Amino acid sequence: MRTQIAAANWKMNLTLQQGEALLKGILSKAKTLNEHQQIVFAVPAPYLQAAVNIINGTKNVFVSAQNIYNKKSGAYTGEISVEMLNSIGVTHTIIGHSERREYFNEHYKFLAEKVDIALENNITPVFCCGEPLGIREAGTQNAFVAKQLEESVFHLSKNEIKKVVIAYEPIWAIGTGKTATSQQAQDIQHHLRSLIAKHYDEETANEISILYGGSVKAANANELFSQPDIDGGLVGGASLMEDEFVKIIEALK
Ligand code: PEP
């Protein structure tokens, strides 16, 4: 079975004290994970070390950065490198979140370079893709997400792409309370898997976890996660609420 993942994206929220309390609360209430289930906490950069300390090697629970830079080190004031993440035990990073694409103009090539440097340094990329409302309304979402994969991850070898987690996040559903229906999410995630199968092969496509993100909450997680091509969620708002996120973890297949 593919790895099923409940990934929390705290974005730029919470104080350290609030974050520590939330993390401890979730860990104390979360069910025991089986071997194909994982929890990933993408916490703000200043809290990464504290989160690693709290998780303290708990099996199948990981800490993620929300962003990295595409260089290993150097004169890049304010940026975070994969080497820094490695040095404190952070194992994942989000790459290409729509907020980074939109507010910080992160584009295909830059994102491809981030994916490369993450993989070269054993950091798992959680690579986000997804269309804005206008594209969905025009019905061209399949071509839109295909281009995002083609330009930023399809240069990878078969072995490399198997290490990437993909998160499909329709921009019109992020932080809006508007969730894609489970059928809409399933359809496009099936399309993403088919693109991977076409570019690589079926076996590769069947190994890659594809998460859904966009207003996932306790009330819709079961239905979304029960879809065959949805392998868990990347969760923003609801990951800031202890009981909500615990229930989302419970909904993992
Ligand atoms: C996200 O941050 O990736 C996200 C999906 O946010 P929300 O769950 O709040 O829509």
CA distance linking residue 195 with residue 165, whole number of Å: 15
Pocket around ligand 1: residues whose beta carbon is below 6 Å from it?
9, 11, 169, 174-175, 213-216, 234-238
As to burial, measured by CB atoms within 10 angstroms (0-12 exposed, 13-18 middle, 19+ buried), residue 113 is middle
Return the pLDDT at 179: 80
CB 235 within 8 A of CB 248: yes
Q: Using CA atoms in the order 19, 23, 28, 30, what is the torsion angle rounded to 10 degrees?
A: 130
Pick the catalytic residue: 92, 97, 106, 131? Answer: 97
* Structural domains of the chain, ranges and CATH numbers in brackets: 4-250 (3.20.20.70)
Nearest-atom number in ligand 1 for the CA of 213 is: 5
What number of helices (H) and strands (E) belong to the chain? 12, 8
Q: How far is the CA of 43 from the centre of ligand 1 (A)?
A: 13
Q: How far is the CA of 170 from the centre of ligand 1 (A)?
A: 10
CA distance linking residue 220 with residue 218, whole number of Å: 6
Mean pLDDT for back-to-back runs of 10 residues, the chain (253 residues): 97 98 97 94 98 96 98 97 98 98 96 98 98 94 98 98 98 83 96 98 98 96 97 98 98 96
Ligand 1: residue of 211, 235, 241 to mutate (most ligand atoms within 8 A of CB) is 235
Cβ count near 198 (within 10 Å): 11
Judge whether 92 counts as a catalytic residue: no
- Closest residue by Cα to atom 2, ligand 1, is 236
CB 130 within 8 A of CB 101: no
Judge whether 97 counts as a catalytic residue: yes
Return the pLDDT at 159: 97
| pTM for this predicted structure | 0.96
CA distance linking residue 84 with residue 23, whole number of Å: 22
Tokens 């804005």 sit on residue: 132
